[in-house]
Every structure is written in C-alpha cells, then in structure tokens.
Amino acid sequence: MTTTITAATRLLVLEDDPGLQSFLQTLLQSQGYQSMIHAEGQQGFALLKDQSFDLILLDLGLADMDGIDWLQQLRSWSEVPVIVISARGKELDKVRALDSGANDYVTKPFSSAELLARVRATLRQQQKTAKPLAFADIKLDPVQRIVTKAGEQVHLTKTEYDILLLLVRHLGSALTHNQILQQVWGEHYQDRPEYIRVHMAQLRQKLEDNPSAPRHLKTEAGVGYRLCE
C-alpha cells in the first residue's frame, strides 16, 4: 500500500541543529514534500496558528523549550501527527514522548530510508483514521481540511475551520468561550469572547441557510456555543 503525496502534503520540522536542518530540507524536498524548518518551539506554534500541516517532525532539544513540553501543549488543541526525532534513545524518553502524544519516535542517528518510511507510515495511518465528519448537509474532511455544503466546497479560513472542527467533534455539547479560545488560539487566550464572535458570524454566513436565525451554530447565552444537528 502506498501513501499518496500531493502538493498539499506539508511538513513542519522543528530542529535546532543547522546541519540536520539542511539534511532534512533536502531529503524531504527530494520526496516531493513541502517543508518549513525552524529551531524554536514558539515559532512552530505561531506557524500552526496560521497554516495547516500534515505532519510534524519534532526534535526534543529545541532552542527555546523542551520538546516534551511543546508536545503536551500542542496536544491540548491539535491532533496533527507528530514524529519525534531525538538523540534521547532511552526507553523512558520514548515512553514519555509517546504518552505525551507523539505518533512515532525515531532515534538519532537515523537513516534516510528509515525516516521516510516512518513518515509514509504515519501519513498513511492518518489517512485511514481521519474519517469525514458531518452534520446536516455539511461535511468536513479532516485530512484535506475541506468543508462542503450540499456537495459544494465552502472556503473557510484556518481559524474558522478549527472552530468548526472543534464544534463538530463535540456535536450537541455546549463549549465555553474559554474552552474554544484555548483549543483554537492557545492557552494564553482567555476571557476574550470577542475573538470567537467575529469568526462565528462568518461561519454562520457561510454555512447557515438563515444566518440571522441559525439552526446549527447556536449561541449559549453567557456560556459559549453549541453545534446542533
């Protein structure tokens, strides 16, 4: 079974060693992957807020923070697959990374063939497990990050998509403003419901038949929002 690589297959690489950065850039490019490489975890978070990636390669020894801490923060709001690449080869380090949300763990030094095989396997598994999500006549494809309404594709911004995906995964449940802020914007964004309000208005314009009287994207007064069938 092969993994389809398209122009949209994008990898974020967080690695602080310049030599390995260059090696990974060349290796991934040779296989048709698009990659962005940075040394600092905070740079990674900033990119993930604005762009979509299919897979992350994460070094545990980042320039500005510990990779395990970075991974735990990521998993509080994102499910993008992560392969840890690290010189920490002890069993305990691998267990900690996997328990913190890593999908796989590759110990340095590694061969090109091994790393690429792990990348293909992780992407393949993601394609198998990420099933389309739906409500009413609206469907979300979490792999391609595509939304359709009655079979027609609807363009959403990254933030709009992330809010909708969160609501779909909690279909029928009320989510508080702070729950949405933390999951979509990050843990430092609390008590700022106006951030959400603007994007919810746009989502209603794009997805509701009557945005002024929404059937699905409901406001829970004083609490937050709820997605209804």
Model confidence pLDDT, tens digit, residues 50-88:
788 889 999 999 999 999 999 998 887 788 899 999 988
Reduced to 3 states (helix: H, G, I; strand: E, B; else coil), residue 208 is coil
Q: What is the pLDDT of residue 132?
A: 63
Pick from 69, 94, 128: which residue ends a domain?
Answer: 128
Question: Is 2 among the domain residues?
Answer: no
pLDDT in tens, 172-203: 888 888 888 888 887 677 778 888 999 999 99
Could you tell me the residue range of the domain that residue 35 belongs to?
10-128
Question: Is 1 among the domain residues?
Answer: no
Reduced to 3 states (helix: H, G, I; strand: E, B; else coil), residue 82 is strand
pLDDT at 158 over 80: yes
Question: Is 89 among the domain residues?
Answer: yes
pLDDT at 126 over 80: no
Q: What is the mean pLDDT of residues 88-92?
A: 85
Identify whether residues 99 and 68 lie together within a single domain: yes
Reduced to 3 states (helix: H, G, I; strand: E, B; else coil), residue 124 is helix
Share of the chain above pLDDT 90, in %: 59
Arithmetic mean of pLDDT over the chain: 88
Single-letter amino acid code for the residue at 182: Q
Instruction: Please state the domain count of the chain.
Output: 2
Question: Is 20 among the domain residues?
Answer: yes
